[in-house]
Amino acid sequence: MGKVGVKLAVGCAVAACVVASVMVGRRVRRKRAWRRVVRVLEELEEGCATPVGRLRQVVDAMAVEMHAGLVSEGGSKLKMLLTFVHNLPSGSEKGTYYALDLGGTYFRILRVQLGGQRSAVIGQDVDRRPIPQHLLTGTSEVLFDFIASSLKDFVEREENVSERIPSERRELGFTFSFPVKQTSSSSGILIKWTKGFVIEDMVGRDVSECLQQAISKKGLDMRVNVLINDTVGTLAVGHYHDEDTVAAVIIGTGTNACYLERADAIIKCQRLLTMPGDLVVNMEWGNFWSSHLPRTSYDNDLDADSPNPYDQGFEKMISGMYLGDIVRRVILRMSEELDVFGLVSSKLHVPFILRTPLMAAMHEDDTPDFREVAKILRDTLEFSEIPLNVRKLVVRVCDVVTCRAARLAAAGIVGILKKIGRDGSGGIASGKNECASRSEMRRTVVAVEGGLYTNYTLFREYLNEAMTQILGEEIAPNVIIKVMEDGSGIGAALLAASHSTSSVDTVQIP
């Protein structure tokens, strides 16, 4: 071999060594970066951990905050609002009742026929209508005139006049899902509008009175005899079907809870209460907070970026509005450590682009290659190629976030039961004869509504599992979670019936 050949061979060898060295270096750096990505997951798992001991601390904190909120206004992060609703449906209600559900840019009108026996809803008619855009920023008179006109049209279309006794006045339950200060079971003052409504002359006025005036102007013989929110409606539906129902929880896009409380335990409203027995308390539990809640940097960032920082802390950890965005933030953090998602588009930086139903679909993807995960990441976040190990990583992130949410929701529910002495522990002092020993533990039903629980199988399984772990094997069989439907519609009609002048049946917790 000549000198030229030797030099060429040496040059090739050097080049090969350089290439090999570069490739090895890249593999080493990629492995290190992958370890950092895995560490992001491990830190998330540690930050979201909800061992039973911690959940029981959340239970205790919820019960204590409930008690504090009943003692004085502003005494707790929980508002513990008095609804003045004291007659829950007993099953004996009979007749035809109406409901109006106004909670967004659509409203519903329902006509419900009750048969006089528990669970005997023998017929119902429903009409769903949009609210014209210009009415969202108009006047209260124009808005309620439109609603009353629609209500009158519905009544005249659905009602068989020949079957109606002329002396009977129609009765209506009004579900109004906006912030209201309740002044009686049938009246409340609007605090502020949300969901795109900006009707300034309505703020500070009684919403039931505005509706009643509009109905009267239309010549419609109908009385607004109960004003509620959707959570109270869910409790009404639950109690109508099962008399052991003592609380209701909505876990969907948003979340809230209400329950039956002894009147003598509502210390801050003693001068307003004129009757003994039990009243429904609207907790507004989305605003619950405790140092025992497992909060992460992703929760802190989401809260800081929200329109209401330092508010609705519990809701931001457990409700469908936020879970998908927590997952998006974790994925974004991982992508900053390593280009495991290929070329990351700007869409990953868009808040709430990954909605919770999409997150749930990825979480529950049971295909061998997680093709649904890949499709959602590609279609929603515009990722190009996602390796199988990365798809598995994303599913694990969804699992951690969902598991934490479900288990915290379970702790919140047990907190309510602890407050009223239905968790087997004897509860906390809040009224006369409220402590119950384990031997006296009674069947207790919690009504649940909302797509996060009803449609998300893994969320539901995690919640039910946590309920059993917290309560223990001895007590858990006595606590039943029942899925309810349409508390805002049928629940309002049922409460119109139970608060009718011809139907009075006081409910009490033994």
Cβ atoms within 10 A of the Cβ of 361, count?
16
313-352: b or e for each residue (b if 16 or more CB lie within 10 Å)?
A: bbbbbbbbbbbbbbbbbbbbbbbebbebbbebeeebeeee
Q: Is 104 helix (H, G, I), strand (E, B) or coil?
A: coil
Give the pairing type, strands 222-228 and 170-176.
parallel
Closest by CA to 40, choosing from 471, 290, 397, is 397
Please indicate whether residue 72 is annotated as part of the active site: no
Q: What are phi and psi of 284, to 5 degrees?
A: 50, 55
Angle at CA of residue 289, ends 284 and 293, nearest 5° = 130
Which one of the listed residues 60, 230, 325, 486 is annotated catalytic? 230
Q: Which amino acid is at 24?
A: V
Q: Is 135 helix (H, G, I), strand (E, B) or coil?
A: helix
Report H helices in 306-370: 315-318, 323-337, 356-363
Sorted by sequence, the CB contacts under 8 Å of residue 485 that are 6+ apart come out as 237, 449
Q: Pull the structure tokens for residue 150.
A: 């629609």
Q: What are phi and psi of 183, to 5 degrees?
A: -115, -20
CB 458 within 8 A of CB 363: yes
d(CA 362, CA 377): 9
DSSP string, 357-388: HHHHHHHT--STT-HHHHHHHHHHH------H
d(CA 317, CA 328): 14
Which one of the listed residues 90, 177, 187, 500 is annotated catalytic? 177
Please indicate whether residue 230 is annotated as part of the active site: yes
Q: Is 171 helix (H, G, I), strand (E, B) or coil?
A: strand
Name residue, tokens 């805002």: 488
d(CA 412, CA 256): 10
Which one of the listed residues 56, 108, 262, 329 is annotated catalytic? 108
Give the catalytic positions in this structure: 108, 177, 230
